[in-house]
Structure 1
């Protein structure tokens, strides 16, 4: 029922494999709840609740992010023996997946898993190469203080992002929690007008940054190539939880 013109009862029955009588009963109930709406031609489309869910679906670059990032993250985790995150900006926050243990798989994207962009290495790497309108939206928002090290002054954050653009690395020194330190690099994907970032947790910035710089840069380049490959429609539907048939 995703196409613009909606579907008839017969089409819904054919796609669902349910008897027409069952489809008629279910669709009538859903229409009564306004989950579906019926037009003058007798075709059914998404009502306000379904439209709201559809609008909340992750954008296209997110749909296959985890699948393509997993081998990169696994290799970077093996190379550094440190937790790894890959994320993208959603509004002014960061949506991410992470690899935290050798015995645990990379997590899945979750609407509940969000990081503040201004207080993480991952977020600063993303902001450094984000469109101007996105950066300005973050700078205009409340830059919440999580620890004494959190950057809350827009002008200081803007200056730090310039250094990220020059060095290709973003750092976080106990800005989100009192013990967390990390290094991140942007992953620019020009062919898809998208940007991701990849982050490695470290114990000591002065000691660990030199050792993780090269594997992090290689991982960012690898992930950029992975994300630049076009997604086949069937794979996109599968990643979104849909039915390619």
Structure 2
């Protein structure tokens, strides 16, 4: 029994909020066994189930796994960005060399996405900066993060006035929510000239301990249809490597609460 439960928890720790069928495939257990054990674990709040039938580690399990590695809720965003950069630099450098495309790694910071980047071969990965912030709704980074965030975070961020940066910017929350379902299914988010009329981007999430989304990895491209099929494989592989690094720590880079969340606390 312990081995079966361990297999289920390890399957969920791979991230992405797997369904029962996906958990069964990852753990190599019969679906009926997975259904019975996952139902019991959910009843004990060890696991959590969202409205789409996807599972993630419950709060007691995340708290147990956190230990002293957890970051305090009031940890400054600058310190978080430094820790993100430390973990992400090898991934960013390797991905830039493999693709020749500008690379960003970002995380949710209140109502925006904080990021570090490598924009050119002769430049190092950027240092964290308060000016390095991007809108969540008009970037591939932001959409990749929101697609795997909790409903409370998504609701709070989409309740804001969403700015239209170009004629392609999506500002209707229902359209964004629809796109999140596609992103969860494919693990790929795109931004097609929604922030800058001259540029597109593609991003994929990276997960930490317990299957929580921590950061997203983004490549800037010129043309979605032409470039994404070629760049998807190295992008996903890089995010997978970063996920394994992040999984050594329990929720090491939590995002700061949005103003809406702070007001309701």
Structure-1-length-normalised TM-score? 0.69
1:184-203 paired onto structure 2 within 5 Å: 184-191=203-210, 193-203=212-222
SS of the equivalent of 1:187 reads: strand
Structure 1 CA distance for aligned equivalents of residues 211 and 89 of structure 2: 19
CA contact (8 A) 2:204 2:239 kept: yes
1:132 CA drift (Å)? 1.1
Structure 1 residue 60 displacement after superposition:
7.0
- Paired residues of 1:120 and 1:172 also in contact (CA < 8 A): yes
Which residue number in structure 2 is paired with residue 142 of structure 1? 161
Corresponding position: 1:115 with 2:134: yes
In 1, Cα distance between equivalents of 2:77 and 2:84: 10
| RMSD across aligned positions (CA) | 1.9
Deviating more after overlay: 57-66 vs 148-157: 57-66
- 3-state secondary structure, aligned to 1:208: helix
| Structure 1 position 230, deviation (Å) | 3.6
Larger of the two Rg values belongs to structure: 1
Looking at structure 1, the residues matched to 80 and 148 of structure 2 have their Cα atoms a distance apart, in angstroms, of: 16
Q: Equivalent of 2:106, from 64, 87, 102?
A: 87
Query: What residue number does 1:217 align with?
Result: 236
Question: Any idea what SS the aligned residue of 1:201 has?
Answer: strand
Gaps of 5+ in 1: 1-53, 232-245
- Quote the offset at 1:107 in angstroms: 0.5
What is the aligned counterpart of 2:151 among 114, 127, 132? 132
Q: What per-residue deviation string (whole Å, max 9, x for no partner) do you get for residues 103-161 of structure 1?
A: 10000111121100000001000000011111001110111000000001110011011
Q: CA deviation at 1:193?
A: 4.5
Decide whether aligned partners of structure 1 residues 142 and 56 sit closer, same or farther in structure 2, where only a CA change above 3 A counts: farther
Shift of 1:59: 7.9
**d(CA) in 2 for partners of 1:200 and 1:81?**
9
Distance in 1 of aligned mates of 2:152 and 2:249: 26
**TM-score, scaled to structure 2:** 0.64
Given the alignment of the two structures, is residue 182 of structure 1 paired with residue 201 of structure 2, yes or no?
yes
Q: What is the distance in 2 between the residues matched to 1:230 and 1:154?
A: 33
How far did 1:206 drift?
A: 0.6
Tell me: CA distance 1:157–1:192, structure 2 relative to 1, closer, same or farther (3 Å). Answer: closer
Which whole-Å CA distance do the structure 2 matches of 1:163 and 1:194 have between them? 16
